[in-house]
Amino acid sequence: MHYPPFFDAVPRVRVRDPLAEFLGAVEGGVIEYRYLDAVRLAGHSCPTVAGAYGLTRLALGALYGAAMAERGCVRATLRDDASVGVAGVVASVVSLLTGACAETGFKGLAGRFERRGLLAFGVEQAWELRFTRCDDGASVDAAVNLRAVPADPQMMPLMQRCLAGAADEDERRLFGSLWQDRVRRILLEHGDDPEVFVIRHVD
Q: pLDDT of 2-24, one tens digit each?
A: 999 999 999 999 999 999 999 99
Let me know if 80 is exposed, middle or buried by CB neighbors in 10 A (0-12, 13-18, 19+): middle
For the segment 46-94, what is each residue's pLDDT rounded down to a tens digit?
Answer: 999 999 999 999 999 999 999 999 999 999 999 999 999 999 999 999 9
Looking at the domain assignment, is residue 3 inside a domain? no
The per-residue pLDDT for 32 is 98
Q: Is 119 left (phi over 0), alpha (psi -120 to 50) or beta?
A: beta
Answer yes or no: is 2 within a domain.
no
Please check whether residue 167 lies inside any domain of the structure: no
157 inside domain: no
Q: What is the CATH number of the domain that holds 103?
A: 3.30.1330.20
Q: Which domain holds residue 41?
A: 11-147+184-202
* Domain presence at residue 118: yes
pLDDT averaged over every residue in the chain = 96
Kindly state whether residue 195 falls inside one of the protein's structural domains: yes
- 86 belongs to a structural domain: yes
Q: How many domains does the chain have?
A: 1
Of the candidates 63, 49, 133, 48, the one whose C-alpha atom is nearest the C-alpha of residue 99 is: 133
Q: Note whether residue 162 is domain-resident.
A: no
Least confidently predicted of 90-94, 106-110, 129-133, 174-178:
106-110
**Using only C-alpha atoms, what is the Rg of the chain?**
18
